[in-house]
Amino acid sequence: MSDQRKLFGTDGVRGVANIEPVTAETALKLGRAAAHIFSQTRHQARPGTKPTIVIGKDTRLSGYMLENAMVAGITSLGVDVMLIGPLPTPGVAYITRSLRADAGIVLSASHNPYEDNGIKFFRHDGYKLDDKVEAQIERLVFSGEIENIRPTAGKIGKARRIDDALGRYVEFAKRSFPAGLTLESLKIAVDCANGAAYKSTPWILRELGADSIIAHYEPTGTNINENCGSTHPAEIQRLVKESGAHVGITHDGDADRALLCDENGELVDGDEIMAIAAVDFLKHGRLIGNTLVATVMSNFGLDETLEAHGGRVLRTKVGDRYVIEEMMRESYNVGGEQSGHMIFRDFATTGDGIVSALQVLRIMIETGKPLSELKKVLRKYPQAQRNLKVRVKPPLEELTGVQTLLVEAEKALDGKGRVLLRYSGTEPKIRLLIEGREQDVINSHADRIAGELTSTIGV
């Protein structure tokens, strides 16, 4: 097998369900490979027990197919399975830790349409796998090395359902909110995206005392992210305006992210959430190393905001896994992405939409300020973003016409902005970001570059 990745992208395995690599056949092989890896590296081997893997999912129709295939593969290697059903991705990470399982698996394609699905893994401690372990799993899938490992009789694994997983996660999320506070003073609009948070987020807000207006909480298996959720923010803006809510929360399909909406119906993105939270943590001496971890896609205004309050921004490649890796390296406790993936390591091991929202709700209550006022802490540089579908992904340096336009854009910005161009790690798309002080200038350059991309590699 070559060194080229064949299954794993930046966030697990993802694609159209029932088409390779997201098929029952490959899911079964992934289950066998993962079972072998995790049974060899058990964190807490207990005498007389089998290794155990937790499986959770979002609300996609194809989740049933992949779940059953994964169970077959895992149990065929003599490893037990605990099924927890639909639960946010951070919930699966937490339950994996809580039940002291050897690993966790999430079946979800996050913000993608229902036709897609994905498979991603967590370690025993609730953190995502690193590239090395994913490569080991991938090698086993293709090599056939474990084909002859066939436990029989009582050595075959078994599967059982965990009925209280949802309740466990609800209590976990509530613990991220101060015990002495309630949400009784707030009316909150919520868009559950017909996804994994359709039960948990309403339950959490209800128990914390909020007056909640809940929308898109009736999944059918085919309506996840359909004209709702964080990929369709106009919906939460509409809900807030129509209901007169103080704040809106909108999730993606697996609820590991959240975007907010202020009382005026204006969207509050991940950069603004990070700025609000980081400045609050700095004021209270809680931001470890006075450092916020963000990706190269976050607005440059974030750096200026942190510097003005005695902190700094440390940037990583795009992808919450890279944010988390950097946070773990130096034990930083707050980080995230513009898209709404926020990691508060004081409470969680991965991005958690409702935990992130609760941090901002806490700040609103403690300061007595509306969200529209709090978000002013970040003064953004204008940005021009273009997300284009592509039919192929050649190395960017081979696109000579595009490279010429990128150089021209960089020269025009004269050091007072930046240009970023990258392929998506989870979709057949290329993403362009130009940031500068003048909106008309960056829009003009973005349009020219996008036009060249469309003519050379566009769909």
Query: Catalytic positions, please?
Result: 110
Half-sphere CA count of 38, side-chain side, radius 13 A? 33
Which backbone phi and psi does 264 adopt, to 5 degrees? -90, 0
Integer-rounded Cα Rg, in Å, for the chain is 22
Q: Is 18 left (phi over 0), alpha (psi -120 to 50) or beta?
A: left
**Closest C-alpha among 437, 404, 438 to residue 421:** 404
Name the amino acid, one letter, at 259: L
**Helix (H/G/I), strand (E/B), else coil: 216:** coil
Question: Residue 435 burial by CB count (10 A; 0-12/13-18/19+): exposed, middle or buried?
Answer: buried
**Which run of H or E residues covers position 107?**
strand 103-107
Pairing of strands 258-261, 342-344: unpaired
**Closest C-alpha among 88, 102, 97 to residue 133:** 102
Helices H, strands E: what count in the chain? 14, 19
Q: Is the peptide bond before 202 cis (omega within 30 degrees of 0)?
A: no
Q: How far is 416 from 421, CA to CA, in rounded Å?
A: 17
Half-sphere CA count of 210, side-chain side, radius 13 A? 28
Q: How far is 342 from 303, CA to CA, in rounded Å?
A: 17
Partners of 292 in the beta sheet? 313
- What tokens appear for 127 in the block? 């953190």
**Closest C-alpha among 67, 80, 82, 100 to residue 35:** 80
Q: How far is 340 from 426, CA to CA, in rounded Å?
A: 17
C-beta of residue 430 within 8 angstroms of C-beta of residue 459: no
C-beta of residue 404 within 8 angstroms of C-beta of residue 411: no
Q: Which parts are annotated binding residues for Mg(2+)?
A: 110, 252, 254, 256
C-beta of residue 294 within 8 angstroms of C-beta of residue 274: yes
Residues in the chain: 459
Q: Please, which residues have CB within 8 angstroms of residue 144's CB and are 6 or more apart in sequence?
A: none
Q: Which parts are annotated binding residues?
A: 110, 252, 254, 256
- Distance between first and last Cα of the chain: 30
